[in-house]
Structure 1
Amino acid sequence: MASKKKRVKLKSLSQGRPPTLKPLHSLSSKATRTLISSHHTLQKLRAKAVAEGDEAKADAIAKEIEERGGIEKYQHASLLGQSSDRGGDSSRILMDWLVPIVPALKQHASDGRQMRMLEIGALSTTNACSNSRLFEMERIDLNSQAAGIKQQDFMTRPLPNDTKDKFDIISLSLVLNYVPDAIGRGEMLLRTLEFLKIPHHLDSGCQEIFPSLYLVLPAPCITNSRYLDESKLEMIMDSLGYIMVKKKLSNKLVYYLWRRVSFSTKRTCFKKVEIRSGKDRNNFSIVLK
């Protein structure tokens, strides 16, 4: 008689991540896209096996991921994707949106009140946000690839002790889609509130942007999911106290800037419910308990 599989809750984002190996030095655009896609697929399958308590299957998938290069090869592909000839750095969109308030941001910095940014899933210390010098940057990633990026899981990061340890903006670029399950994605969005400053009076212009969350996702997560579209995402974010202030949709990515406008402990429950049918849809979803 087969033994029952014990379901195990993924306690941190790192449980959904595979082992690591050294990356290759160069990849074609097609190979880069294929690697990223296959890595995400295998990572989700492994996370599912872990959650179901199927250790043998999880180990087998982990071995396959390792043989394909692990997270370091995935990160290498992601860095190549950020190069100027491959679509570029996603934080450039954010910086374009902030152009009207750059004078105010510079004034904050000169007055010793520089805005603080937490970049989750940071791959580089030389992206547009860092090079702007408008922010006091703190960068974290599960597998740091450079000095200046702290190796840390956001889901286990110690909570701030007081306001000075919180941030004016959090960057969550191509990170939420890496979380292996829908509940975990909801928990990550909810956890951002713990690290953002509460809405407060700021100089003219800045109050229309901060405190905020910069969220970047693969476009199909919104445009071709069975369980999520922009309307539902807006409802989820509204429940958390966010409103959309900026949006850009490209062929590959969707960029959002969400401003935190309220502080509430009452949440609406959002389940995994089909809103679009079709065999070619993906299963990306966000569950908020």
Structure 2
Amino acid sequence: MAVKKRQKTLSHGRPRISNPKERMSSQRSRTIIRTHHRLQKEHAAAVKKGDTKLAEKIAKDIEENGGLKVYQAASKQGQSKDRGGDSSKVLVEWLQDAGVIQSKNSTTEDKGINSKQLRCLEVGALSTKNEISKFPQQIEMTRIDLNSQGPGIEKQDFMERPLPTSSEETFDMISLSLVLNYVPDPAQRGEMLKRLTHFLKNTTTEGAVLPILFLVLPLPCVDNSRYFNELLLTRIMKNLGFSMRKKKKTSKLCYYLFSLTGKSNSVKTEKRKISDGAIMNNFSIVVD
């Protein structure tokens, strides 16, 4: 059945939109995003329970609310300059602060360690013209999305991307901006984080910045969840071999930069209530 088939794919990508110039109020775009996320979670729960009729009804509700096409328009508009802009600007700033890349105006001699291109995988890519894409001499971009919006973005589900068979197929950087929160199931989020480690290069240099993961989440996922907070995120990432190098919070988003410094262990993270409140959400990450 079509409904069940969709559930097998982690819908972290976003579809092509026919009218990218459409404008909507910030309130409307937030309502669209929140409603879509809620319906996606309800749909995933119905499929998991085997309730086909309910799953079909929710799928119909999603389409009646504009579906992924309208969600994409709202999501992409949120990255416009007048709505806060492109999240990769923060990544570029942190890479420059760490000396990983140099400014676009630097000479070849100034680039030093970057005489060899670094490889970056951008999961859930929205554009080929964001800030991280403005350093072609220093960074080789690989962009993937469940529904490519045009040339330069490969249509691919990250969870179905073949695992690397050689170091040439791994990356120095992975960008996961507003992707993990789109995955409807806590255990699937954990699987995504575990899978990331296979795509990052191995390093034997103590204290090295690379390889890195750039992770962006909505602020409420970290600061207003009954089952999740920054302390738990740090613990999960440490168990996966990551150490936090940078963090930044705005009124809407949390930005994190993690270096992969070790190997994953077998420690599990279950869904447990750590706080409670009438207006709190249920975002969580489960690692089996």
Common fold: TM-score over 0.5: yes
Alpha-carbon contact 2:17-2:72 (below 8 Å) kept: no
**2:85 partner SS:** coil
**1:126 partner SS:** coil
2:36 and 2:156 map into 1 onto residues whose CA distance is 21
**2:75 partner SS:** helix
2:13 and 2:151 map into 1 onto residues whose CA distance is 21
Q: 1:91 aligns with which of 84, 88, 93?
A: 88
In the alignment, residue 75 of structure 1 is paired with which amino acid?
Q
Q: State the 1:276 CA deviation.
A: 0.5
In the alignment, residue 95 of structure 1 is paired with which amino acid?
V
In the alignment, residue 107 of structure 1 is paired with which amino acid?
G
Q: Give the length in aligned residue pairs.
A: 275
1:83 and 1:9 map into 2 onto residues whose CA distance is 29
Q: State the 1:21 CA deviation.
A: 7.7
Alpha-carbon contact 2:13-2:157 (below 8 Å) kept: no
Alpha-carbon contact 1:19-1:66 (below 8 Å) kept: no
Say if 1:9 and 1:82 are closer, same or farther in 2 by CA, change over 3 A.
closer
Output aligned runs, 1:243-282, within 5 Å. 243-264=243-264, 266-282=265-281
Output aligned runs, 1:47-196, within 5 Å. 47-100=44-97, 101=99, 102-103=101-102, 106-110=111-115, 113-133=116-136, 134-196=138-200
2:266 and 2:154 map into 1 onto residues whose CA distance is 31
1:254 and 1:68 map into 2 onto residues whose CA distance is 28
2:208 and 2:64 map into 1 onto residues whose CA distance is 48
Alpha-carbon contact 1:18-1:71 (below 8 Å) kept: yes
| Paired-residue identity, % | 50
2:155 and 2:53 map into 1 onto residues whose CA distance is 28
2:23 and 2:167 map into 1 onto residues whose CA distance is 43
Return structure 1 stretches of 4+ with deviation > 4 angstroms: 7-10, 16-24
Q: State the 1:64 CA deviation.
A: 1.6
Say if 1:38 and 1:261 are closer, same or farther in 2 by CA, change over 3 A.
same
Structure 1 gaps, min length 5? 1-6
Say if 1:284 and 1:161 are closer, same or farther in 2 by CA, change over 3 A.
same
Q: State the 1:67 CA deviation.
A: 2.0
* Counterpart for residue 283 of structure 2: 284
Cα deviation 1:129-166 (Å, max 9, x = unaligned):
01132310000111111211111100111111100000
2:277 and 2:157 map into 1 onto residues whose CA distance is 35
Alpha-carbon contact 2:225-2:283 (below 8 Å) kept: yes
Give the superposed CA RMSD.
2.4
Alpha-carbon contact 1:218-1:254 (below 8 Å) kept: yes
Alpha-carbon contact 1:108-1:114 (below 8 Å) kept: no
Q: State the 1:119 CA deviation.
A: 0.3
Say if 1:200 and 1:144 are closer, same or farther in 2 by CA, change over 3 A.
same
**So what's the TM-score if we normalise by structure 1?**
0.89
Structure 2 gaps, min length 5? 103-108
